[in-house]
Amino acid sequence: MKKLIFGLLATVLLFASCSDDDNDSGFVINESNFTVLIENVFQPKGNFNSGSTGFISPGESETITFNAGKGHFLQLATMFVQSNDLFYAPSDMGIPLYDQEGVALTGDITSMFNLWDAGTEVNEEPGIGENQAPRQSGANTGIDENGTVRLVSNVGDGFVYPSNESVINISLAHDGGTEFTLTLSNISGSSVLPTPLAPGAWAIHGNGEKPIFEENTVATSGLEGLAEDGANTELVDNLDLNTGLVSPFAPGAYNIGQNTLFTIGSSASAEMEALGEDGNVSGFTNVYNTPDGASAPGPIFPGQSYSFSFNAANGDALSIALMLVQSNDWVIALDEISLFNNGIPVSGNVTNLAQLLDVGTETDEYVGAGNNQAPRQSGPDTGADENGNVVVENNTASIPSISDMIKITIMVDNN
């Protein structure tokens, strides 16, 4: 009888103990299947950099300093004020800032600029017309031309214009690395027709882009304002909206458990150096290297993604790293983020946990322009050795926020 009573009591106590655990801890999952989705969310941009120039009187000049790499072009437009709608600019494709051997363009580049007719207002005799900026009653006066952008030399309006070289001078200096300084000078004081140069606009852009105008095409309203009245705000604002860094991400690696990919504050392994500098993941076991929907390994461009799946147990953590391609050795990384929260698998957008790391193996150049960065380098493992440690990168003024570059989502599949 005593044995029966003891057995019943033990059963009751065991049931009560199980009930208390369920109430305190909730439903615990010891392991789960996860899928990680990594998306390139850069917004495509046509310009790498852009800006404005000011009002330049005869005898005055203005300098512009910018960074550019191999494959970048310069476009700049400024109004010939003693006209109805004429402006100085190079061809609509801009000027290549490096030659095919990678040598930077320097010196007097005035001969690469032309005088253009915006085709928006009927021409009057230069320096005389009552609808030209110095004499007009207000902005946007004069007879609409309803034409297209053409070289003045092809317009045939019967007027004589001063030579470009007697009005404007543009010189370019290579300051070292990827930095250039452009000097725009108004030398029209001794010209047959002295003229100010009105506020203008400039852009650094890629091959094939036409950021300010297109020859034989109707001018945009932004160009019309610049060419007729020196009103550059609309054009400058539009250029700015289409300006910024755009980068692919290279194949990356991941680890479950203790982070064996990298240690912040310590020097990078040879495998991590290869990943950070060249997107080479051959030294790692767990990698993601093929864009979703693709049949072969490669980088992901804006709108593309990587994904990978794995099984993890309660207490495991996830680490990842993938290269920001328009850098020397920067990676986006997760450093041992927990995959379970009180026994519940973690899911959702975890981009806020990502960090931008400098692997510390190659000296940094201006992001998106460095000639030792993967898109422009002559081969893998080029660039000056940095001999540093893996650190959180804080010099981020020239790049978007992490959430504007990448999105990392964890999904749970327990089916």
Mapping DSSP onto H, E and C, the string for 184-241 reads EEECHHHCCCCCCECCEEEEEEECCCCCCCCCCCCCCHHHHHHHHHCCCHHHHHHHHH
6, pLDDT greater than 90: no
Residue pLDDT, tens place only, 33-43 = 999 999 999 99
Question: Does any domain span residue 9?
Answer: no
**223 and 267 share one domain:** no
Contacts of 205 (CB under 8 A, 6+ apart): 46, 47, 48, 72, 73, 75, 94, 211
Q: Does an H or E element contain 333, and which?
A: strand 330-338
Give Rg (Cα) of the chain: 31
CB 344 within 8 Å of CB 26? yes
Residues 6+ apart with CB under 8 A from 248: 40, 299, 300, 301, 325, 326
286 and 178 within one domain? no
Strands 344-345 and 340-341, how do they pair? antiparallel
Say yes or no: 350 and 250 in one domain: yes
| pLDDT cut 70: percent of the chain above it | 93
Q: Does any domain span residue 6?
A: no
Rounded (to 5) percent helix, strand, coil in the chain: 15, 35, 50
Angle at 302 between CA 297 and CA 207, to 5 degrees: 95
Instruction: Using pLDDT thresholds of 50, 70 and 90, give the confidence band for residue 19.
Output: very low
**φ and ψ of 117, to 5 deg:** -105, 120
DSSP annotation string for 22-37: HHHH----SEEEEEEE
Q: Which range among 16-25, 50-59, 170-179 shows the weakest confidence by mean pLDDT?
A: 16-25
- Is there a single domain that holds both residue 207 and residue 276? no
Residues 235 and 346 grouped into a single domain: no
* β-sheet bridge partners, residue 356: 332
Q: Is residue 303 part of a domain?
A: yes
Write out pLDDT tens, residues 45-80.
999 999 999 999 999 999 999 999 999 999 999 999
211 and 274, same domain (yes or no)? no
Q: Is residue 16 part of a domain?
A: no
Categorize the per-residue pLDDT at 140 as very low, low, confident or very high, splitting at 50, 70 and 90.
confident
Whether 10 is covered by a domain: the verdict is no
Number of domains in the chain: 2
Does 75 fall in a domain?
yes
Burial class, 154, CB count within 10 angstroms (exposed 0-12 / middle 13-18 / buried 19+): exposed
Amino acid at 63: T
The pLDDT, as a whole number, for residue 28 is 65
Domain boundary among 226, 241, 256: 241
Domain that holds residue 66: 47-241
- Indicate left, alpha or beta for 140 from its phi (over 0: left) and psi (-120 to 50: alpha): left
The reply to whether 351 and 372 lie within a common domain is yes
Q: Are residues 117 and 160 in the same domain?
A: yes
* DSSP bridge partners of 306: 38
Average pLDDT, integer, range 362-388:
93
SS3 label, residue 313 = strand
Regarding whether 268 and 162 lie in a shared domain, the answer is: no
**CA end-to-end span of the chain:** 48
- Has residue 7 been placed in a domain? no
Of residues 250, 245, 333, the one with CA closest to residue 299: 250
3-state secondary structure of 299: coil
Out of 241, 263, 298, a domain closes at 241
Q: In the structure, what pLDDT confidence band is assigned to residue 25 with cuts at 50, 70 and 90? A: very low
**Of 241, 271, 297, which marks where a domain is finished?**
241
Do 36 and 116 reside in the same domain of the chain? Answer: no
DSSP 370: -
CATH assignment at residue 397: 2.60.40.2130
Cβ–Cβ under 8 Å, residues 249 and 402? no
Indicate the SS3 state at residue 107: strand
* 81, 61: one domain: yes
Regarding pTM above 0.75, the answer is yes
CA distance 347 to 413: 10
**E strands, 41-167, in order:** 47-53, 61-67, 72-79, 86-89, 95-96, 107-108, 114-117, 150-151
Cα distances from 93 to residues 107, 275, 413, in angstroms, run 20, 35, 51
Q: Look at residue 12 and tell me whether its pLDDT is greater than 60.
A: no
Residue 13 lies in a domain: no
Shared domain for 77 and 215, answered yes or no, is yes
